[in-house]
Amino acid sequence: MICDQAKVRGIHLYTSFICTECERELISTDTSHPKYNHYLSKLKKVTTPQILS
């Protein structure tokens, strides 16, 4: 979900998947760092259900 790469290890969050590497980066990034806002924008997509047709 964050790096948009297919990986095996990670966590499932609602309908999304976060790989272990991105999870570690997200947790260790300071909230004042610009990269943190990037993570937040990606995570906001989790609350939006996917439209399946």
Asked whether residue 28 is domain-assigned, the answer is yes
Residue range of the domain that includes 21: 10-47
SS3 string, 1-51, reads CCCCCCCCCEEEECCEEEEHHHHHHHHHCCCCCHHHHHHHHHHHHHHCCCC
Number of independent structural domains in the chain: 1
- Which has the higher per-residue pLDDT, 15 or 5? 5
Let me know if residue 20 belongs to a domain. Answer: yes
pTM of structure: 0.70
More confident residue, 32 or 52: 32
pLDDT single digits (tens) 21-48: 999 999 999 999 999 999 888 888 777 6
Q: Is residue 31 part of a domain?
A: yes
In a domain, 1, yes or no: no
Tell whether 35 is covered by a domain: yes
Specify the long-range contacts of residues 17-21, CB closer than 8 Å, at least 24 apart: none
In a domain, 52, yes or no: no
